[in-house]
A and B are shown apart, each in its own frame.
Chain A
Amino acid sequence: MSDDDVRQEVKAFQRDVGALFEEIGKVIVGNRDVIEGTVTCLLAGGHALLEGVPGLGKTMLVRTLSEALSLNFSRVQFTPDLMPADILGTTVISESDRGGKLFEFRRGPIFANIVLADEVNRATPKTQSALLEAMQEHRVTVGRDTHVLAEPFVVLATQNPLEMEGTYPLPEAQLDRFLLKLHVPFPGREEMHKILDLTTKAEVPTVKPVLAQARILELQKLVREVPVARHVQDFVVRVVQATHPAAEAGSEPPELTKRFVRYGASPRGAQSVLLAAKIKALYDGRFAVSTDDVKAVAFAALRHRVLLNFEGEAEGIKPDQVIAAILKAVPVQGG
């Protein structure tokens, strides 16, 4: 691909993604970062965990996104009595055309391009773990049969930080499978006005599909072609190393990490940061990733991977504080 082609591709990317944002913006007011994060997960082939109090439009965002993408969408309301089969699907006895009986696998809601796992932390760990294989390997194994999920496959999970009764915190292994953890903030005054204007009128805004499945796959491929300079990649590595309280070779974690962090981010975390940074660079129409991109996506990509120790939780330390300290402490080295 020549540089002219690259320029064309980047422009097309910006145009398509811009159209997507515009469509989503018809329904979702504000929350640009959350929307960008969600789309980032889609383009990176990863999954997003949206955390916010009820009523902030998490489900609406996911639904709107699916509508704007003309992809298969399914929604699963996670409850404590939800069983893995309710998500993955189950084998049932059915009658054939000839009148015979046969076992037939009936696909669950996981078999969709975009899966909304609403209030994911309400399901039992057993059910939550049913998502593990699907999220990481994009396939489902039921009995002896393995079913490959259609691409793109994105799980967009939501969880409510307040309602903890009857919830099961997500295990670290599952948390690590989310590319980004996005905080859905409470809207500001202007945004509230817009939300009210949009949702209390007789006219309901409609969203039309702007990106086809094939184009999304192309974009996913394009994202991975974005080059990363050595110094940027080195910065990512050192940031991820600094999330570990025990100093790795050549890294010096800040004091906050040493005191309050139990476990740091895994290499999967570094992958998430870099992929998200690539998409961030493309959003801006650049041809390579910058350290600014890394800094911009580091919070969303690492906050669910930095696990605080007891002291950190007792002191009320937030992972974002630790990440901010790391980004401040780790310099960009020129080579």
Chain B
Amino acid sequence: MSPAFHTALQRTDRRMRLRATLNVGLRALVVALALSVVVIILRKLYVIAERPARILLVVNAVGVFASFLIPALLRRKPLEAALSLDKHHKLHDRLANALSFSDVPSSERSGWMVAAIADADERASNLDPKAACPVHAPIDSLMAVPLAILLAVVIVLEIRTHTVIAPVVPVLNAPDLSGDALESLREFVKQIEERTQDPETKVVIEEFNRLIEDMSKKRLDRDEAFKRMQSLEERLGGGLERNEERKSFEETMAKLGNELTKAELAKPVGEALAKKDFAKAEQAMRDLAKSLRDGKNKPGDKQKIEQMREALKKAAAEAKREKDALLKKRDEAKEDLLKHKQKMGDGGATEEERSLLEKKQRELDRLDRELSQAQKNERQLDRLDRELSKAAEDLLKDMGASAEDLERGAEDLNRMSKEQMTEKEKQDLLERIKELREQMRREGQSGQGQKQRMKRFQKKARGGKGQQGGSEKGQKGQKGQEGEGDEGEEGEEGEGKEGQGKDGQGKQEGGKNGEQWVIGPGGKKMLLLSRGQGQGQGGQGEGAPNSGYSGNSGHGENVAGKATNPNLGTQDSQLTGQDTGEGGSNSKMIRSAASRGFASRGYKNVYRQYRTEAEDTLKHDENKDAIPGGYRFYVRRYFDLIRPREQ
């Protein structure tokens, strides 16, 4: 064969491979793009997981690559190129035949074959592979462009899911105190209330009473209860500080008492003060005033009064000395702290220096407090001293006037004592609040998965699939609230009562947990999570295992809605079927009739009757009008074809 022939074949072969590559590859690309869009959409809608989505995308990419590569590398038979050229140039297989004959050994080639090859060679120079095998992208590959855009859009766009979140059911996690504990608290508060005269303390006690009542009626959340207790503690003041103040006051009074003991006249008062018995000291001072008023003491007692004055002065001087010492110490500490701060400011502070600075600051604060207390003690002592000194002076002048002065001193002592008594009551109250807080904390820790229960419940309340409790109903009375419309209110009244009385209490007493709706803080309706009281009868408590919340299961009685109104206007319409031509074919109808027979009679009988009728017509139709001559054969053959087959 001529070189032109070979060249044309090779060019055509290349073009065919290129065309196949484009055809297959671009179509695969379109399919892959469409699949990718679907996969990404499904992924964004969370229908499929990340890993399968990635696998599908990778498979897509590999598929496209293979679709381009395989047709490009696939070797084609030269005959295909020859046939393509033949078809385009209308050569009636001249080239294909020549190619086929060229494979025959020369010795076996006939003259016809040689002539055929020569004939093909003659036409080879005019061959046009480009026209014979046009290469262009398939029209449907244009879909790749919009699909690629769509893919890009799908990748970029974020589909936001609209999730309906159920409203959070307010849950009341009330402190679960026993009735005994509450009663004990009430008793304690009553005692304090009777004892105290301090208005501030009374306000605190009233607040504490409300706290106890709220807790007893489950109107408080645990957090809220803790907050209120903290508030009360703050109002009662720091316990430690108050304690220190009291100790400091008692020490001062004891020193005063020791001094007064040296004066014979004020010996009973001094002994009482030394023993820190302010009531006895007050009484002793009143006794002294009475004896002076009654004139039991002699003028010779002036010396004794002078001794008492001296003792008081000494005590005051001692208190002043202590205060000065404290002041000096505090000034030194302050100066030291300032120096230290300055030093740190200049050269930066190390960790150790900062720690030392904080220590010094704390020391300064302590000294400030002690100084403040000492000043207070000093003031009180000064006042007492003034009263007693005046009493002594009056005694020296006139015995009658001194009695009143001593009465006033006793009053001051009583007031100071009472003041310190109030502090003690506050301290007691504070201690009791701390005990209560600790009790509630332990109760919270010992609760069986209180937080887990709350989480579980909130999950259920948001529509999650709740864990089906063993059997405990928990609370049945929420039907009305969870139901719809008017029917809901009815449900609240009826079954709600049953829930509180029967399930809420009776079963919880079996030592199991349950929930109930209560009026919480702010008058809001809240769900109370509570534990049983541990009074179950052995292992046979009525309460069954955990958590049978059924708040969402309620519904109104008229679940089917209103009955349909039969008087609604209706309109009759008549429809006519249309022949769409999509039914069974003629042959199917005939065949089905032939195979199944007719409804009332056997097929053989029917066939016989029809055949007889047809034969009669064919035989007696003399004018040949009924059946034209050309169709008689078909009539007979038709009946032959549909004759009943022998079983």
- Does A332 interact with chain B (Cβ within 8 Å)? yes
Chain B interface, number of residues (Cβ within 8 angstroms): 37
Give CA–CA (A95, B590) in the complex, Å: 64
Q: Judging by beta carbons under 8 Å apart, are B94 and A315 in contact?
A: no
Report A-chain residues with C-beta under 8 Å of the C-beta of B101: 227, 229, 288
Closest chain-A Cβ to B236's Cβ sits at a distance in Å of: 100
Q: Judging by beta carbons under 8 Å apart, are A165 and B630 in contact?
A: yes
Known contacts A3-B118, A288-B97, A315-B585: does B113 contact A334 (CB below 8 Å)? Answer: no
Q: Judging by beta carbons under 8 Å apart, are A288 and B112 in contact?
A: yes
Give CA–CA (A165, B94) in the complex, Å: 50
The listed residue (B115, B118, B587) touching A315 by CB distance below 8 A is B587
Report B-chain residues with C-beta under 8 Å of the C-beta of A156: none
- Does B633 interact with chain A (Cβ within 8 Å)? yes
Report B-chain residues with C-beta under 8 Å of the C-beta of A230: 100
C-beta contact mask, B69-90 vs A, less than 8 Å → 1, else 0?
0000000111110110010000
- Does B93 interact with chain A (Cβ within 8 Å)? yes
Q: Judging by beta carbons under 8 Å apart, are A226 and B112 in contact?
A: yes
Give CA–CA (A281, B119) in the complex, Å: 13
Report B-chain residues with C-beta under 8 Å of the C-beta of A286: 92, 94, 116, 119
Instruction: Tell me which residues from 619 to 645 in chain B have a Cβ below 8 Å from any Cβ of chain A.
Output: 629-634, 641
Q: Judging by beta carbons under 8 Å apart, are A165 and B96 in contact?
A: no
Q: Judging by beta carbons under 8 Å apart, are B630 and A163 in contact?
A: yes
Closest chain-B Cβ to A47's Cβ sits at a distance in Å of: 24
Do most interface residues of chain B lie in helix, strand or loop, or is the interface mixed?
A: helix
Count chain B CB atoms within 10 A of each CB in A1, A164, A287, A290 and give the residue with the most: A287
The listed residue (B77, B94, B588, B634) touching A334 by CB distance below 8 A is B77
- Does B110 interact with chain A (Cβ within 8 Å)? yes
> A7: nearest residue on chain B (CB-CB)?
B115
> A280: nearest residue on chain B (CB-CB)?
B92
- Does A291 interact with chain B (Cβ within 8 Å)? yes
- Does B451 interact with chain A (Cβ within 8 Å)? no
Closest chain-A Cβ to B634's Cβ sits at a distance in Å of: 7
Count chain B CB atoms within 10 A of each CB in A10, A313, A315, A335 and give the residue with the most: A335
The listed residue (A231, A287, A293, A315) touching B586 by CB distance below 8 A is A315
Report A-chain residues with C-beta under 8 Å of the C-beta of B634: 164
The listed residue (B78, B113, B587, B632) touching A165 by CB distance below 8 A is B632
Q: Judging by beta carbons under 8 Å apart, are A293 and B92 in contact?
A: yes
Known contacts A232-B93, A287-B119, A290-B94: does B112 contact A164 (CB below 8 Å)? Answer: no
- Does B111 interact with chain A (Cβ within 8 Å)? yes
Closest chain-B Cβ to A219's Cβ sits at a distance in Å of: 15
> B114: nearest residue on chain A (CB-CB)?
A3
Give CA–CA (A57, B83) in the complex, Å: 40
Give CA–CA (A232, B592) in the complex, Å: 43
Report B-chain residues with C-beta under 8 Å of the C-beta of A218: none
Known contacts A3-B114, A226-B112, A314-B590: does B630 contact A231 (CB below 8 Å)? Answer: no
- Does A284 interact with chain B (Cβ within 8 Å)? yes
> B118: nearest residue on chain A (CB-CB)?
A3
Give CA–CA (A163, B632) in the complex, Å: 10
Count chain A CB atoms within 10 A of each CB in B114, B116, B588 and give the residue with the most: B116
Known contacts A164-B634, A290-B94: does B112 contact A229 (CB below 8 Å)? Answer: no
Closest chain-B Cβ to A114's Cβ sits at a distance in Å of: 29
Q: Judging by beta carbons under 8 Å apart, are A165 and B112 in contact?
A: no
Give CA–CA (A169, B633) in the complex, Å: 9
Report B-chain residues with C-beta under 8 Å of the C-beta of A12: none
The 4 closest A-B pairs by CB, nearest first: A290-B93, A334-B79, A164-B633, A165-B629
Binding site for A on B (CB under 8 A): 76-80, 82-83, 86, 92-94, 96-97, 100-101, 110-116, 118-119, 585-588, 590-591, 629-634, 641
Given contacts A288-B116, A335-B79, 18 further A-B contacts (CB under 8 A): A1-B111, A2-B111, A3-B112, A165-B632, A229-B93, A231-B96, A286-B119, A287-B97, A287-B113, A288-B94, A289-B97, A290-B92, A292-B93, A310-B641, A315-B586, A332-B83, A334-B80, A334-B82
Binding site for B on A (CB under 8 A): 1-3, 5-7, 10, 162-165, 167, 169, 225-227, 229-232, 281, 284, 286-293, 310-311, 313-315, 332, 334-335
